[in-house]
Structure 1
Amino acid sequence: MTIYNSNNFKIGLKIIFENEPCCIESSEFIKPGKGQSFTRIKIRKLLTDQLLDRSFRSTEYFKKADIFDVKLLYLYNDNICWHFLNTQNFEQYSAEKKLLYKKLQWLIEQNYYMTTLWNNQIISVIPSNFVELKVIKTTPGIKGDSLNNNVKIAILNNNAKIKVPLFIKTGEIIKVDTRSNQYICRIKNN
């Protein structure tokens, strides 16, 4: 087991803090004129996504978090757990709904997702930055409507609701940025 001294903290280092895996987002070593040196860091708890500001004396030690990223295939969900498969060794993993709450609408069955594992359990699933989805419902644009309002609401085949330009019609395929839930462009059918 690897142990890190607080003087050796670097951005991106993953440690165990308060019995949870955490990732260091910023680190600043401070040596005052008087007194003991310390390290001021911003640390993100990976289970709750909470960002903390902390200071540690140079004599404090932390265990390395045994975290790794792996590409998993999303199989299905039963409204309690979302099930994934490692196609390399055929191990199956599951993640509870509360862990995936912000990303659920962007998880599409039979697609691969970068997944973070800690102690052989999923703690994070990262959807693709861009997805192509079909518009299943939207209101038709009215001529002259672009003066006051140049966007309308569209419902996609994953039940996500996003704002799209007036020219988008039901049945079209569009590209969506999953990080900001925004329309990017229309995909032409071949």
Structure 2
Amino acid sequence: MPKINGNEIRPGNVLEHNGGLWSAIKVDHVKPGKGGAFAQVELRNLRNGSKLNERFRSADKVEQVRLEQKDQQFLYESEGMLVFMDTETYEQIELPADILGDRRIFLQDGMTVVIEYYDAEALNATLPQKVTCKVVETEPVIKGQTAAKSFKPAILDNGFKIMVPPFVGQDEDIIVNTETMDYSERA
């Protein structure tokens, strides 16, 4: 595994640190008035989800881990486990439903999800950045209200509550950004 300097750490990097695998969530480069510069890094453990704040000086060496990414198709959910199928080998794997966290609500049948592996262990799953959902409940469109930059509440077909522009009506399909969990555009 390649070693990188502490000041080369970027958000999204996966590092081997203190005997565990950690993902860098937030990185702040600090140059104090006295002393050397360092990177203040917020890390999340990929196995148990715990968080850690760590300082890395530019002289510190950390091992960067490359995870293997595979496209897997979501098949169904059974007893708190999500069943995925490898699109190349047709092998099925089961992962705990909490691997997706809050974004679990946007998982749809047949959706292709990127699962990251370290050796044979599945550590992370990423949904497509944009998914299409149907608005099942919202206030009616009011003429003349589209000029101002305002939003109104809506409920999607998966039960998720979201803020949408005033021109979006009931039974319309919209595209939701799964990273920010916000309205993106009309479908």
TM-score range, shorter chain: 0.7 to 0.9
Shift of 1:162: 0.6
- Deviation string 1:6-59 (CA, Å, 9 cap, x unpaired) is 65884365332233212457598xxxxx9xx9975626334227352234796x
TM-score w.r.t. structure 1 length? 0.71
Contact 1:23/1:46, CA 8 A, preserved across alignment:
yes
Going from structure 1 to structure 2, the CA distance change for 1:145 and 1:65 (only over 3 Å counts) comes to closer
Do structure 1's residue 96 and structure 2's residue 96 form an aligned pair? yes
CA separation of 1:92 and 1:150: change in aligned 2, threshold 3 A? same
Q: What SS does structure 1 have at the residue aligned with 2:105?
A: helix
What is the letter of the counterpart of residue 43 of structure 2? Answer: R
Partner of 1:53: 54
Contact 2:69 2:117 in 1 (8 A): yes
**3-state SS of the aligned residue for 1:128?**
coil
State the aligned residue count.
179
The 1:155–1:43 alpha-carbon spacing in structure 2 relative to 1, beyond 3 Å, is closer
Tell me which moved more, 167-176 or 116-125.
Answer: 116-125
Residue 152 of structure 1 aligns with which residue? 152
Across the aligned residues of Structure 1 and Structure 2, the Cα RMSD in angstroms comes to: 3.7
Gaps of 5+ in 2: 30-34
TM-score of the superposed pair, with normalisation by structure 2: 0.72
Aligned partner of 2:169 in structure 1 is: 169
Show CA shifts across 1:106-159 (max 9, x none). 211101111111242322111111112111222324568779994222111222
> Which structure 1 segments of 5+ residues have no match?
29-33
Identify which range, 129-138 or 115-124, moves more after superposition. 115-124
- Give the structure with higher Rg (CA): 1
Percent identity at matched positions? 21
